[in-house]
Each structure stands twice: as structure tokens, then as C-alpha cells.
Structure 1
Amino acid sequence: MSPRPLPSWVTWQQRPFPDANLLLLHGRQPALVDSGFVGHAEDTAAWARAHAGDVGLVVNTHWHSDHVGGLLQAGGAGIAAGAPEADAVACRDPGCCAAEYLDQPVSPYTIDMALDDGQVLRLGAADWEVVRTPGHTPGHLALWQPEERLLVVGDALSDYDVGWVNLALDGPDAAATALASLKRMADLAPRVLLPSHGPIPADPGAAFVTALRRARRLVDDPDGAIWYGSGGSSPSPS
């Protein structure tokens, strides 16, 4: 099964892990979702200009440095992010971007627009709804385009796994929070999933089944979840 086709006003580029994929939304005010590592910032800016001209807004699904390094703010783009993470970024806490873990330091930046659950944004040529999906990070968000049934999932899930959940950092309830977020997204019944890592899943329903099963195991096996969050694999079979 091949991934479902995207509208003409959406350009998506898969990048090698651990850098984040790029999603460009065309229209009168082009928008970019996530911007990848700072080490690739010039390539990101050139790619966006070549496909859509000047980007007016960059939306961060969450604050990790593999998503926020090439912010384009110096070129005049505004930055939007979930309200909980906007507050943390304003404090200039370098730990919030996981920059040391990924060896990709992020320069101080400003959130121009703090996004709340249910808020509707005009991104490119369409309206998108902000869906709070905490778990991978406390302020993680997804973006939902109901007419085309497109769902930007960030790191909440990918074609091969549920997103990394760090119980040591975010507390023992983070796995249950991630599971609830997955259920909320699955209930939208999206036609296309747009993840920040890996390919576009050919079968969104099957991708959710796999992610929900993994997330349930993280809830049921806290010791395994801590091991998984440290960068290892779960000790029990899939």
C-alpha cells in the first residue's frame, strides 16, 4: 500500500534520522512545520525559499533541538509553539530543547505565538486546528486539517513506533499521557499522517494500532518504559 496523495499546497520532505522531516504549507503566507537541526539551517531555509518563497510562520510541534534549530527567525519568520513550551522557552532554559543530548545547541529564540488546544490557524492555503498531544514532551502539539483529513503528528508516533517518552524527566504519568494523546488522534480517523521522523505511513490505521500497543506496554511496564526512554529498546518483545 502506498501513502495517500497530498494536496498540491503541501510539500513534505523526509530527512535522515535524527533530523526532523520538513513540512511546507503553501499559500499567501507560507508556513513551515518544524525546522530541523541548526547544523542544517541554511539548507532548510534554501529549501523553503525554493518551494514557497518567504516563510511567514514556523510552527514547532515541540521544543527538541532536532525540530527547532533552523527556526528562520533571523529571516523574518514568526515562531509559534504550544503555550506550555512557549513559557519554558521564554525562560531561556537550554535543557528544554534537549540540545546537549543531541549535540545540537539552539540559540535563544522568541515564541511569537503561543498556541492553545482547539485554536484554528491559517497555515498556507488552509485552516488547521491545534490539538494538544502531550507525552513526548509536556507541550507537544499536533495539527489537524479536517477537510483533507491531514494530521501532523510530530513525534507522537511514526511508522515504526510510538514517540520517545522520558519518564525520568517528565514523571511517571508521561506514558499514560502519551497513550491518551494517541487515542485522541486516532479518534480523528486521519486520511494521512505526517510524522516528523520516518516515512508517511501507508496505512494510518495500522500505524495507530502499532503505536497504541507500544504505548500501552509503556504504561503497563514502567521499568521497561524507563529503559526505553533512556534510548534503549523495550526488554520485552513487540
Structure 2
Amino acid sequence: MSEALGLPTGVTVFERGWLSSNNILFVGDEGSALVDSGYGSHAGQTVALVQRALGGRTLDELLSTHLHSDHCGGNAALQAAYPGLKTLIPPGHADAVAHWDEDVLTFEATGQRCDRFRFDALLQPGSEHRLGGSAWQVHAAPGHDPHSVILFEPVSRTLISADALWEGGFGVVFPELEGDAAFDEVAATLDVIEKLAPRIVIPGHGPVFEGKARVAAALSRARSRLSSYVQDPKRHAAHAMKVLIKFKLLEWQSISEPDFADWAERTPYFSLVHTRHFAPGDRREWLESLLAELERSQAIGRSGGTIFNV
């Protein structure tokens, strides 16, 4: 939990592990709000963190920067805990949420989980939304997700960057995996962030960071990584699939190799990415190469036919 680094009054950041996005809690005279709710398997922990921080107060609003499962997986649990909770999402997938289309929302495609939730209003890019007594600008941030938004408070120059910018880079560019050009959108979003000139950045994952030099360094790292992906899209595709494997292992902690192979076979993104970026070739050999690379980098371990998180 972070209340340091000159964050605006009433803002608390719950820094989570990489399975769940960071949660940002606002408490002020105008009410309380949470930005992003983490992954479904950690929903109980999210609710407990919010309840402990609020004491006897209610949670009035819930905002999702985008609808990846690690950012909205706790929405349903929070709505159950706070029946009057007003939930806001970016507009791009509003129809998919209303009809709960898990194909469009990519939960099925990525082999992840998210309990069904409702929404009450939209976070429209170009608008402002009051959080903790301050007006936060809503900016479109396509790239990692075509419908993602970021939030910026110009007085304290605080940015909630979601997965558009971390101190070490940015999130997987999912549209590229599906054949939709999006690297230019990542670059444009990084340009938007640079023009906003944030003093404090609250990323979707990892610690809060502040200061002109650290923000500039983060942008430089992100642009360097993006350049390497533009030059070699296959590198990005392989990285993305290793991220999906590692992410799922954070949920499982361990799994037998046959059960992993079965999960990968049933998860559409593996077939899609292999066909688009790596075929021809045996998919099982390709999966083995991904596991071997993760093991060499000490991101996973393997022993006695079991794959485990490290």
C-alpha cells in the first residue's frame, strides 16, 4: 500500500502482484471510488483491502481503465459487497459487457477468467471525472488494448497509466497478435503521456514512480522496447505467449505438463499466434520452446512432469 510519493490527498495505491492489477482507492468528501479491481482469483483479497481501508464507509464508484481480466476480475465481487456501487467502463466494449460476450472480451481466447459484472456509465475519452475531490481527465490510450483509457490529474500531475506505461515498459499489444496494426497506437499513446508531463505515475503493475527523470527513463525504455517489436514482430508474439503462460501459472502455481498441454490446446490464442506468426511447424514443439525459454530465464520451474511458478 502506498500513500507516499506526493500522491494527491485521499489517494491510496494497493500495489498487487502481477496476477492482479494495482488498485487505486479515492476517499474524499464527495465519496469514494476504486480504479481497477484485480484478477478474479484474488477478488476476495481486493474486497478485503477496500473494506479495511474504508472502515465503515461504502464504496460509491468503481472504474475500469480497460477490460482485461487482471483489471476487472474483481468487479463482480465488489458489486456484490457494495450493492449500490456505480460502475464505469470505457465505451468500446460496452455492448460485449451488456451481453457478456467472452469471445469479444477475450477471456476465453486468453484462457483467463472473469465473473460477469454490470456497468452503469461510460468513461468517455475527452471528458473529466471527479475522484477524491479533484477533476481527472480521461484520455484514450489505445495500443495494449484498443479501448483502454488513462486518467490524469493536472494539478498534482498524477497519471493513472494502466498498462500503457510501466516503469519497465508496457503491456502486451494484443491487437497485433490478432493481425491488427497497433504498434503505431502504442507510440501515439506514449506521445500523449509525454505531453501530459506527469510528475507521478501510478502504473497498472509495479510500484508508483515519480520525478521528471524517472518518467523520462520509463518512456525511453518503453520506446526502445516498442522499436524492437516493430523491427521483429515475431519477438513480440513470442513474448506475449510467454506472458500468458506465466500469468496463468501465477493463478495455478503449479500444473502437470499434460494438463498444461491440454489448457494450451483449448486456449485459442496459442493456435492463433502459432498459425499467424510461427507456422509451419509442430505446435507442441513450439510450446516446448516457450517453456524452455521461461525455464532458462528462471520465470518458471519444471520437475518430475510438473511446471511450477517461481
2:36 to 34, 37, 48: 34
| Residue 151 (structure 2) pairs with residue 182 (structure 1) | no
2:221 to 190, 194, 210: 210
Residues 48-76 of structure 1: CA distance to partner in whole angstroms, max 9, x if unpaired?
A: 12223211111111111111111112222
Specify whether residues 32 and 96 from structure 1 end up closer, same or farther in structure 2 by C-alpha distance, changes over 3 A only: farther
Gaps of 5+ in 1: 234-238
Residue 18 of structure 1 contacts residue 197 of structure 1 at CA under 8 Å; is this kept in 2? Answer: no
CA deviation after TM superposition for structure 1 residue 129, in Å: 0.8
Answer 1 or 2: higher relative contact order, Cα 8 Å, separation at least 6.
1
2:17 and 2:110 mapped to 1: Cα distance? Answer: 14
| Residue 230 (structure 2) pairs with residue 226 (structure 1) | no
Specify whether residues 77 and 103 from structure 1 end up closer, same or farther in structure 2 by C-alpha distance, changes over 3 A only: farther
Residue 144 of structure 2 contacts residue 186 of structure 2 at CA under 8 Å; is this kept in 1? Answer: yes
The count of corresponding residues between Structure 1 and Structure 2 is 231
Show structure 1 runs of 4+ deviating over 6 A: none
Residues 182-235 of structure 1: CA distance to partner in whole angstroms, max 9, x if unpaired?
A: 1111111000010111111351121111112212332333232322333369xx
Hey, what does 2:138 align to over in structure 1? Answer: 130
The one-letter amino acid of 1:12's match is: V
- Other structure's SS at 2:209 match: coil
| Residue 73 (structure 2) pairs with residue 62 (structure 1) | no
Gaps of 5+ in 2: 244-289, 291-310
Residue 159 of structure 2 contacts residue 198 of structure 2 at CA under 8 Å; is this kept in 1? Answer: yes
Hey, what does 1:50 align to over in structure 2? Answer: 52
- Other structure's SS at 2:48 match: helix
The one-letter amino acid of 2:187's match is: L
Hey, what does 2:167 align to over in structure 1? Answer: 159
2:129 and 2:58 mapped to 1: Cα distance? Answer: 18
CA deviation after TM superposition for structure 1 residue 161, in Å: 1.6
2:177 to 151, 168, 189: 168
* Cα RMSD (Å): 2.1
CA deviation after TM superposition for structure 1 residue 109, in Å: 1.7
CA deviation after TM superposition for structure 1 residue 154, in Å: 0.5
Percent of aligned pairs with the same residue? 34
Specify whether residues 220 and 91 from structure 1 end up closer, same or farther in structure 2 by C-alpha distance, changes over 3 A only: farther
Residues 131-179 of structure 1: CA distance to partner in whole angstroms, max 9, x if unpaired?
A: 000111110110010111000010112111221112123x341111111
TM-score by length of 2: 0.69
TM-score by length of 1: 0.88
Residue 36 of structure 1 contacts residue 70 of structure 1 at CA under 8 Å; is this kept in 2? Answer: yes
The one-letter amino acid of 1:77's match is: L
Moved more, 187-196 or 100-109: 100-109
CA deviation after TM superposition for structure 1 residue 6, in Å: 1.2
1:26 and 1:96 mapped to 2: Cα distance? Answer: 34
Moved more, 116-125 or 187-196: 116-125
